Chains A and B, each alone.
Chain A
Amino acid sequence: MPLEPTEALPEPLPLQPTDGDLIRQCLDGNTEAFRGLYQRYQGIVRATLHQLCDAEALDDLTQEVFLRTWRGLPRFRQSARFSTWIYRITWNVATDCRRQRGRSRSQRQGLPPLATTDHAAPDWLTLHYQDLVQRGLQQLNWQHRSVVVLHDLEQLPQKEVAAILDIPVGTVKSRLHHGRITLRQFLQREGVQL
């Protein structure tokens, strides 16, 4: 029986360096390794900042997060999860930003510019709903907003949210409950049927 030509095995994918690998390289002075961390996490950092602080100075805030991350790397405990740590830094930067701008923002409740994707302009209904969600988040107090953004939008487990905010899981649940009530009431007032 003739041997059938075997299908060529797919090339094994090159192993992606883990966060730990990249961190070790950074600590050895390899700044290019930090680019890997940046590319891996800039999306979630940016989205979280946008949901917590709106669109104002988003680039500056993102840069601040990564600068703090870089400076803090020597003190980062390898046993901890890097994602939790960078979420924590992001939340700290957002909190600082909120403190600095809190008063001026409360005086001018202007709407943030609506974001559009590069590829296709979303239809007006999508823009309207995005605007509603953004305004709904602005209705929440800071504690409720942080929990709703991290859990409901960033889809982090409650345990991780508790670790990031340094609060008990029970408090996360409570804030989530109250935050959702406020959001639901706001959206229903705006005519959204949930």
Chain B
Amino acid sequence: MTRFSEHDERLVTFLRRHRPVPPPPSELEDQVMGAIATASCAAYSLPRGRWRRRLAIPALAASVLLVWGGWHSLQPSPKEESQALATVETFLADTWFGSVYSADDASLAAALAEDDWLLAVYAVPY
């Protein structure tokens, strides 16, 4: 315990002897316990509620990201798309030449550049 000087001791003794006394409480205990009972559910379930709220936002964001990512992974890239289109065009041209012209004429058309295949159609006699 703190030691007082004689000077301070007289002051502190006076203060303690005449300390202000609070008025007696009026049924405060029951009021406090009532307030506690009301607050008990909110007070102790609040952290769980907060956790739910804290988890809900990241979960929602993760779901949106997953949907967006899945959609993009299924979508072909422009390069792949143009390659697939070129393959289809080549296949159609080959099939058409093969069905209409002889093997030599068809090979001539196939040897031409991709953009020139239409010209080759007119170059080859019917």
Spell out A's residues near B (CB within 8 Å). Answer: 29, 31, 34-35, 38-39, 42, 46-47, 49-51, 55, 58-59, 62-63, 66-67, 70-71, 74, 112-113, 115-118, 126, 129-130, 132-134, 137, 148, 151-153, 155, 157-158, 180, 183-184, 187, 192, 194
Contact = CB atoms under 8 A, between A and B. Distances in A.
Main secondary structure of the interface of B (DSSP, over half): helix
A59 B40 contact: no
Given A70-B39, A184-B11, A194-B10, A63 B32 contact: yes
Contact of B24 (A118, A126, A130): A118
Contacts of B31: 59, 63
A88 B103 CA distance: 99
Contacts of A112: 20
Given A31-B36, A151-B2, A183-B11, 11 more contacts: A31-B40, A38-B29, A49-B22, A59-B26, A62-B32, A63-B31, A70-B39, A74-B47, A133-B20, A180-B8, A194-B10
Interface residues of B, number: 32
Main secondary structure of the interface of A (DSSP, over half): helix
Contact of A67 (B10, B18, B26, B36): B36
Interface in B1-47: 1-2, 8, 10-12, 14-26, 28-29, 31-33, 35-37, 39-40, 43-44, 47
